[in-house]
Amino acid sequence: MAHQIMLAVIVLGALGIIFAVVLYFVAQKFKVIEDPLIDEIAEVLPGANCGGCGKAGCRALAEAFVKQGSMEGLKCPAGGDAVMQKVAALMGCTAEASEPQVAVVRCNACFTGERSKVHYDGLRDCSFANSLFMGENGCQFGCLGLGNCAAACQFDALVMDPETGAPKIDEEKCTACGACVKACPRGIIELRNKGRKNRRVFVNCVNKEKGAVARKTCDNACIGCGKCTKVCPKEAIKVENNLAYVDYRLCIACGKCVNECPTGALIAVNFTPVKPKPAEEAPKPATQEKVEINIPQPEPVEVKKTNE
């Protein structure tokens, strides 16, 4: 009996040694020499593989950093400045400061109320529905409400609001990676600067129809009347193709235009509700406070001035 056990031990032990030697030589032969910096950079990147940088994933971005040797033209939008500073420290160069951004859904769609004109019964995919018809709300430009953006979001920041059936963005979670912007077949979502104290003014509509038609399509459509352009002190608002657009690089978030808008398409978010008029403003006091603390610098305003 003991003899048999010994034999088994010896045979297996010998096999183990032989394989170990073979493995060693194979490993030597096929060794890939990789810059350890790649691993270090990949470590500080968020690791969500959202693709916001335009690369295949976080590791691909880290490889690109190391290959290029500088940080020019490469950026992790999801990680933002904090991550870029860390990467810069590893790379031994300086990171350009950029303003924090947030995704903004520019549509006032609602799929649970009166606004629906037809009922969609097919594949729950925006880009398919976009090829099929105008959308449940009857607007050829507006949100389809089928959630491609929410599916694309890796950070749970964009979810479909069960009350309206339309996408809703959690500003705190949003990293501005831009995945939702790419996922939307109608280009409704835009990345905008977070703005000072998180206050933003923008046109909550992308309808390019003429005023009367747009109005018929949706109560809150931008009708391209141009009233907002007249009151803007910074000439930040342009009307093109019957649609106003607030340039976030010029806007100082004074909020004058919001009161001028006849349809409520222009909205201001995170303003303290001093002005009585805009009904759909609905700022959230709780988040507002938190966000104010989180935003580090009042610099953006200065940056804007230099830009001008």
Name the site residues for other proteins (rule: CB under 8 A): 116-123, 125, 127-128, 131-136, 138, 140, 209-210, 213
Instruction: Answer left, alpha or beta for residue 4, where phi above 0 means left and psi between -120 and 50 means alpha.
Output: alpha
Q: How far is the CB of 149 from other proteins (least distance, A)?
A: 15
Q: How far is the CB of 144 from other proteins (least distance, A)?
A: 11
Q: How far is the CB of 211 from other proteins (least distance, A)?
A: 13
Nearer to other proteins among residue 51 and residue 255 (C-beta):
51
Q: How far is the CB of 25 from other proteins (least distance, A)?
A: 34
Nearer to other proteins among residue 122 and residue 226 (C-beta):
122
Nearer to other proteins among residue 19 and residue 133 (C-beta):
133
Strands 167-169 and 200-203, by their bridges, are: unpaired
Nearer to other proteins among residue 207 and residue 270 (C-beta):
207
**How many CB atoms lie under 10 A from the CB of residue 146?**
25
**How many CB atoms lie under 10 A from the CB of residue 14?**
10
Q: Is 192 helix (H, G, I), strand (E, B) or coil?
A: strand
Q: How far is the CB of 218 from other proteins (least distance, A)?
A: 13
Q: Which two tokens stand for residue 208?
A: 């390019």
Nearer to other proteins among residue 99 and residue 136 (C-beta):
136
**How many CB atoms lie under 10 A from the CB of residue 197?**
16
The C-alpha angle 269, 105, 101, rounded to 5 degrees, equals 70
CB 81 within 8 A of CB 100: yes
